[in-house]
Amino acid sequence: MTDTSKQPSNGDGSARNVASSVDPLPSHPSPTPSHPLPLWLDVDPGHDDALALILATHCSNRLRVVGVSTVGGNQSLVRTTRNALHVLASIDRAQIPVHPGRDQPLRRKAVPQPDIHGTSGLEGSSFPPLQTRPSPVKAWDALAHALRTTNEPVTICATGPLTNIALFLLAYPEFLPKDPQHQDAEDDEFDMPGSLKHAASTSNSSLPLHKRIRQISIMGGALGIGNTSPAAEFNIQLDPEAADIVFNSGVEVTMVPLEVTHTALVTEEVLRRIAELAPAIPSSSSSSTAASDHSAQSSSANSASTSLSLSLSPSPTRPLTPFLTLIVDLLLFFRDSYSKVFHFREGPPLHDPCAVFYLLRPEAFECQWMHVSVDCGEGICSGRTVADVYGYGIHGSGLRADAPRKNVRVAMKMDVDQFWAEMLEALKSADRVSVLNRPTTTIQAKQQTDAAVHALEGELEAEEVGTVAAAAASTTSTASNK
């Protein structure tokens, strides 16, 4: 898509030149399997985060996920971390490390969203017991390590509050873009935690540190009405100070706001198309037994919503696989939440995958480059993203030489058909390899005992308390010294 926005009028019939509608940094080319985009995902799963993880890891190898970090947002850090591990395990991507970050916003109290995402954060279905553990390396340290050891710039995609990304930028300012007159200056070494120093020292990359962040794509913000306050979108409202740091970091930032994500609705037709991804089972005496077993596995995934998901099965010979049952059940819960809380009747908006889709198909978006400021006050507009669409500047008298710097590329429109084509293809790919679709006996052989699972979850709780407390203390100290 190209920028087709109309020139606004000065009020006297003449057109005003809107520099904010021109993107001074052209969109990057779409990645390909031969040139995949290195990607770091920062998430707070969350139903739509789960689909973002699936899209990022099953997009025909066009994105290469180098790490995942979790943040407190839709639910507590313990739960978002557990959910990320569950989702990655279910789509055969358990080898991707998950690094817990910060549970609380920089200066405010966390406000989870059980009305939308349930008590677990991924209410609506269930997963087999976890076989993987989160990494002991904190999110911001792990991201710095990934950047130090890369041979090419890494893109960051954040689909939750921007707390982890802001803490990273505060703790590791050497990765920030340099002023033009300092672009050729030699990068100073930065003292890293001992556990990471050896890996960094073995890197042969000659890419300067300040050029190792390609861009940051976020789902967040709104040009108009918010979703968790009259003026603010949830991710920004939860930690506006973090968003302000990221937006004014000098890093290339693309914001995919509510106005765009609200066009990616999970309609009844979308649910049908997901169900039609189920592979056909050949009709024979032996395969009919297999179909019966297949259906039984799907039914056992979550008895609470089984009747709803099974009603979407294309035919008895094409029952929903356990993985597709999981996806449909999660989306049905999400649909009901959005219907009750926000009165969405057509279906819920699938926010977070839109920020991943932008990285896959930037040409499918219309964008404008503009100044976006974040209201960090305490009033009714706290967390509002104030977007200077027409380049008015601070004093509102038209384009000015002293107008604030254009700091954010804002997505204004998205090709929804292309979005769903990519999302459905990713679900189809994930369904082919999902461990949930393997024979029950295989899954049971890999599962831990219930006692071991409870012990693991208890350790996750303990790790979160210790890790976040230490991270908060060290980061606050680091930031105060900068």
- DSSP secondary structure letters along 166-196: HHHHHH-GGGSPPPGGGTTSPPPP----HHH
351 is a catalytic site residue:
yes
Residue 23: which of 412, 414, 418 has the closest Cα? Answer: 412
> Is it the case that residue 330 has pLDDT exceeding 60?
yes
Residue 336 pLDDT level (bands cut at 50, 70, 90): very high
Alpha helices in 38-192 (DSSP H): 47-57, 77-90, 114-117, 139-148, 163-171
Q: How many residues does the chain have?
A: 482
Distance (Å) of CA 61 to CA 33, 36, 39, 172: 5, 6, 11, 29
Compute how many other C-beta atoms are within 10 angstroms of the C-beta atom of residue 181. 7
CA dist 365 and 433 (Å) reads 30
Domain boundaries, the chain: 31-178+207-264+350-424+449-476, 274-343
Of the two residues 371 and 301, the one the predictor is more confident about is 371
CA dist 173 and 190 (Å) reads 9
pLDDT at 473: 53
Residue 391 pLDDT level (bands cut at 50, 70, 90): confident
Fold of 31-178+207-264+350-424+449-476: Inosine-uridine Nucleoside N-ribohydrolase; Chain A (3.90.245)
> Is it the case that residue 452 has pLDDT exceeding 60?
no
What confidence tens digit (pLDDT) does each residue in 13-30 have?
333 344 444 455 667 889
Annotated catalytic residue: which of 47, 145, 210, 351?
351
CA dist 75 and 121 (Å) reads 5
pLDDT at 402: 61
pLDDT at 134: 97
Output the six-digit token pair for 257: 């706001």
Are 232 and 222 in contact by the 8 Å Cβ rule? The answer is yes
> Is it the case that residue 302 has pLDDT exceeding 50?
no
Q: pTM for the whole thing?
A: 0.82
> Is it the case that residue 189 has pLDDT exceeding 60?
no
Q: Exposed (0-12), middle (13-18) or buried (19+): which is 41, by Cβ within 10 Å? A: buried
CA dist 16 and 29 (Å) reads 30
Strands (DSSP E) found in 371-430:
372-374, 385-387, 408-414
Residue 301 pLDDT level (bands cut at 50, 70, 90): very low
